Chains A and B, each alone.
Chain A
Amino acid sequence: EDKVVQSPLSLVVHEGDTVTLNCSYEVTNFRSLLWYKQEKKAPTFLFMLTSSGIEKKSGRLSSILDKKELFSILNITATQTGDSAVYLCAVRNRGSTLGRLYFGRGTQLTVWP
């Protein structure tokens, strides 16, 4: 069965800290891995990764994929209270239902002032 595992499940840090969120996966016919940020409502898109070793960056956030070891990390540097959210990792395969995502349980990040 395909699965996506995120760790840690919960993380509490102080403003200014750097955090690393992990996502490992076992999916047949892997196509891409996506990171989302979910606050009170629906997830907002952060990154989509398809190739190993190429870092994607957006401000203080960055992410990289390792297709050989089947994992991805999401880094957030100089965290701010506004980074508090659940970060979801999702994987897409090349299966018959194009576009279908398999989600992990998420990492709840809390940033204290």
Chain B
Amino acid sequence: GAVVSQHPSRVICKSGTSVKIECRSLDFQATTMFWYRQFPKQSLMLMATSNEGSKATYEQGVEKDKFLINHASLTLSTLTVTSAHPEDSSFYICSAIRDPATEQFFGPGTRLTVL
């Protein structure tokens, strides 16, 4: 299957700082990338859908000024958590698709801990 990478895999930061997470499709061009958040023992919650060269579409309840998404190319999307607070601590996962009719390929996830 296709490979999606995320960087960093784990980050610990102080409250009030901003954290950038990268998502890359390594061996294919992704028409669309998705950002999810997962709390312990919970399912994946879609935060936003990102298409290259256009503004991301955010799910209801997700603050777009807090979770900045930049989809600079067909292989790279970034999620920046601005002014992070402890309640933003979570597991952030991205996924990418080649074709809307096929499966999503997930990155390994980034565990964010805000102190």
Contacts and interface: CB of A to CB of B under 8 A. Distances in A.
Contacts of B1: 45
Nearest to B100: A98
Interface residues of A, number: 21
A42 B108 contact: yes
Which size class do B's interface residues fall under?
A: 20 to 34
A41 B34 CA distance: 16
Contacts of B108: 41-42
Given A98-B32, A100-B49, A44 B103 contact: no
B46 interface: yes
B104 A97 contact: no
A6 to B, nearest CB: 9
A48 B103 CA distance: 7
Given A45-B1, A48-B103, A101 B109 contact: no
Interface of B: 1, 31-32, 34, 41-46, 49, 57, 93, 95, 97, 100-109
Given A42-B93, A42-B109, A97-B49, 15 more contacts: A32-B101, A34-B104, A36-B106, A41-B108, A41-B109, A44-B106, A88-B44, A98-B32, A98-B100, A99-B100, A99-B104, A100-B46, A101-B46, A103-B44, A103-B45
